[in-house]
Amino acid sequence: MNRFQLTPLAAALMFAAVTPTCAQQALVADAEPQKLDRVQIIGNQDSNDVRTDTTTIGKIATPLRDVPQSVTLINRAMLSAQGATSLSDALRGVPGITIAAAEGGQIGNNINLRGFTARTDIFIDGVRDRGQYYRDTFFIDTIEILKGPSSMLFGRGSTGGVINQVSKQASLKAGSEATVTVGTHDQYRATIDTAQPMSDTSAFRISAMGQNIQTTRDVMTNEDYGVAPTVRFGINTPTTVTVSGLFQHNHDMADYGISALDGKPAPVNYDNFYGLTDDRIIQDASVVGVKVEHRFSDKLTLRNQTQYNRTAIDARETNSARVGTFVPSAGGGGAFTILPTSATGYYTSLPIQSLYVLLQSKDKAIVDDSLFNQTDLIANFATGPVKHTLLTGFELGRDTYQNQSITRVDPTINGPAATTGLAIVSLANPAYDASSSRTVRNNGNLVTSNADTIAAYANDTIELTPQWKVIAGLRFDRYRAVLNNSIPSATLPSEVGQNVTKTSVRVGALWQPSEAQSYYLSYGTSFNPSLEQLTVTAGQQVLAPEKNKSYETGAKWDLLEQTLSVTAAAFRIEKDDARTQVSTGVYELDGNIRVDGAEFGITGRPSPSWQVFGGYTFLDAKIVQASALDGTQGKVPANTPRHSATLWTTYNVGHAWELGSGLTYLSSRYASNTNVVTAPAFVRWDGTIAYHRRHYDVRFNLLNITDKQYINALIPSDGGRSVPGVGRTALLTLTTRF
């Protein structure tokens, strides 16, 4: 009697065929850019060393096949192969993620994940890293992206998912690595990573970075350095103590991009810079952590982790605030008149040569502190034939935040709505000047706020049989925040407080008919307090949290004798009780935002010499309900492309040479929820050639090979501004190991 057997390859093909229907669209389901066992083959290294099969993003080291959600892992080999030196560079190759630029009171990495902001959903080693700074990759071993609402694991936020930076750890294996990179447009970067044992049970590791980087954007320059030390005691003993730090200094220039014209990014040279030459952002970020882990036995572990973060920012920034016409005056300055259709994307019949941009200051001084302590107890036990991996934990947190807004104005600029003007420059050919001697500087509103978090959680992975697993988790959060404004108004009270108590859940079921197959269903929730970011929320402070829920079904296969991983998923994320403005300065929880989507991913080795990482994400995002005043009902959420895809592949020629290339695609997307300004679709093509030896590597990266003009990031204010991506850039990197 013959029995029907569902092979991994057959299952993969079947699931890929039916998932698009589940997502309500006839496009491939994407298997999250997942476990990307990345693309680098070094000298004589075993080809299997690049595979990454486990993640720590759920607070326990877990095989990816046992996680009932989409997960993407970007390891050190992939970062090196693609020449990614910043967190934003690393994430641009993950479908479903888009980049937002600095906005309002926000500076630093602003990430959109599955259509929702993840600004405060960035973590270091599982602890929230909410500081507003531009993150580098020099200290990172792996970047983990967990997609979908996950407040059960991480507390407030996590509407679209979370991003966890796993830092390099000290071990008893000694070794050092140094890199020097030289690039076009005056790019210089050096890093060092050294690890040494101090005894049979202790070791230290230090990673450091320094760089002076200019880009294809005129005037833009970044001067950064950082160091990340780690010391571990008790290695290979029941009790391990890890003390780690990250200290980074940035002296950068903010890029607020270009204004819109005729509903699109203005047709100007994408190298143009719309700011002042003495703009700068000075950031000092410090992260200090202590983790104590004690193994009572192979089945019981207690872990306590404390982390302190501090970010201090002194920003003098300028952005292109308005487009209009300008009549200069004899004594300097002049009259600026905004185009009358500014709310609709600056539609005009005037030639671009006759248009000007009003520059406006975005200055601020920010101090952001947080202190978190997490205690976790991990127990492995059985109740009869049923096996359990139970995580229980308790979290305490304290956040403090201070944001002093500062305004610079040139009083000689006249005309309607020009009272905050700083300078006037040509839209087509902007002049590059420093701040005028006529500039008047005034302090604005000072926001001071703090928040306390108390949370308790439990998550049980239940193995009913070798083929069936159930995951169930529950978390209770109490979040209390207080915000003060030094210059109160009708919509900005002098003081406002918020107390939130919320329970978050996570449930999932896994069917694993073989070691090579895993199928899952999952449901999760999250919540967003109105004071989540501890910054100005005019008219929104007293509202209850927004609520989010996610449904996901997916599959994960290991093909070709488990050398090639294929993943697929279909999902829905819905934000209930979304904030919507019903009158000037008055908001209600009467909105609804929904994202239906599908993902497909592939990573691994089709052959011993060939590695591939690819992914596709489809997002059908819609603001289902909003007030008439908002005017966004039926619109697409900002910065949410319908289609995004990446393909990165490398091939080894002999034992030393590596050739690689990759494509990144984003379909068109809107700069704001009003859908006024559209950033066009683009395809970016990158390449790499590397020569590997035992003690050194030489790598050449060519970014944006075709010198494609494309929009990398979007800013929703002022109708929508667009930040161009990097032009053609060549990087030569020498890596030595000793």
* pLDDT single digits (tens) 133-156: 999 999 999 999 999 888 999 999
- Nearest 5°: phi and psi at 17? -80, -35
Tokens representing residue 731 in the block:
């990087």
Nearest to 477 by CA among 494, 459, 454, 498: 454
585, pLDDT greater than 60: yes
Residue in the block written with tokens 């407030």? 156
128, pLDDT greater than 80: yes
What is the domain extent for residue 388? 22-737
Look at 257-261, 330-334, 419-423 and tell me which has the smallest mean pLDDT: 330-334
Look at 50-54, 583-587, 711-715 and tell me which has the smallest mean pLDDT: 50-54
Nearest to 308 by CA among 439, 240, 396: 396
Higher-pLDDT residue of 689 and 58 is 689
Mean pLDDT, the chain, rounded, equals 89
The CATH number of the domain holding residue 368 is 2.40.170.20
389, pLDDT greater than 90: yes
Look at 12-21, 272-281, 696-705, 729-738 and tell me which has the smallest mean pLDDT: 12-21
Residue 603: burial class (beta carbons within 10 Å; 0-12, 13-18, 19+): buried
Each residue's pLDDT tens digit, 303-337: 999 999 999 999 999 988 889 999 888 766 778 88
Contact 459, 492 (CB under 8 A): no
Beta-carbon contacts of 469 under 8 Å, excluding residues fewer than 6 positions away, are 66, 461, 462, 463, 509, 510, 512
Domain for residue 8, yes or no? no
Each residue's pLDDT tens digit, 609-661: 999 998 999 999 999 999 998 889 999 999 999 999 999 999 999 889 999 99
- Residues linked to residue 10 through DSSP beta bridges, in sequence order: none
Each residue's pLDDT tens digit, 588-603: 889 999 999 999 999 9
pLDDT of residue 419: 65
Domain for residue 211, yes or no? yes
667, pLDDT greater than 90: yes
Q: Give dist(CA 15, CA 9) in Å, integer.
A: 10
208, pLDDT greater than 90: yes
Q: Give dist(CA 32, CA 145) in Å, integer.
A: 10
- Identity of the highest mean pLDDT range in 56-60, 74-78, 617-621: 617-621
Q: Provide the phi-psi class of 216: left if phi over 0, else alpha when psi is between -120 and 50, else beta.
A: alpha
- Nearest 5°: phi and psi at 313? -130, 130
What does 117-158 look like in DSSP terms, one character per residue? E-TT-EEETTEE----S--BSTTEEEEEEEES--HHHH-S--
pLDDT of residue 47: 37
Mean pLDDT of 566-587: 90
Q: Give dist(CA 181, CA 251) in Å, integer.
A: 19
Domain for residue 618, yes or no? yes
pLDDT of residue 251: 96
pLDDT of residue 24: 39
pLDDT of residue 517: 96
Taking the CA atoms of residue 573, residue 500, residue 163 and residue 717 in that order, the dihedral angle to the nearest 10 degrees is 80
pLDDT of residue 416: 56
Give residue 438's pLDDT band: very low, low, confident or very high (50, 70, 90). Answer: confident
Q: How far is CA 448 from CA 90, 478, 498, 536, 583, in A?
A: 33, 21, 14, 10, 26
119, pLDDT greater than 60: yes
Domain for residue 12, yes or no? no
pLDDT of residue 36: 35
Number of domains in the chain: 1
Q: Give dist(CA 444, CA 524) in Å, integer.
A: 41
37, pLDDT greater than 70: no
10, pLDDT greater than 70: no
Q: Give dist(CA 64, CA 517) in Å, integer.
A: 11
Q: How far is CA 458 from CA 47, 212, 394, 506, in A?
A: 38, 46, 9, 10
Residue in the block written with tokens 């030289």? 182
Q: Give dist(CA 412, CA 433) in Å, integer.
A: 17
Contact 241, 232 (CB under 8 A): yes
Nearest to 729 by CA among 705, 711, 713: 705
Nearest to 79 by CA among 164, 139, 156, 158: 139
Give residue 15's pLDDT band: very low, low, confident or very high (50, 70, 90). Answer: very low
Q: Give dist(CA 608, CA 47) in Å, integer.
A: 7
Share of the chain above pLDDT 90, in %: 71
Look at 135-149, 156-170, 328-342, 429-443 and tell me which has the smallest mean pLDDT: 328-342
β-pairing, 363-383 with 386-409? antiparallel
Give residue 100's pLDDT band: very low, low, confident or very high (50, 70, 90). Answer: confident
CA 389 to chain centre: 30
Contact 90, 53 (CB under 8 A): no
pLDDT of residue 51: 56
Higher-pLDDT residue of 382 and 32 is 382
pLDDT of residue 509: 98
Domain for residue 3, yes or no? no
Contact 534, 369 (CB under 8 A): no
Domain for residue 322, yes or no? yes
Each residue's pLDDT tens digit, 478-519: 999 999 999 988 778 899 888 999 999 999 999 999 999 999
Tokens representing residue 49 in the block:
């060393």
pLDDT of residue 107: 74
Residue in the block written with tokens 């979908």? 148
Domain for residue 13, yes or no? no
Domain for residue 706, yes or no? yes
Which SS3 state, helix, strand or coil, does residue 412 take? Answer: coil
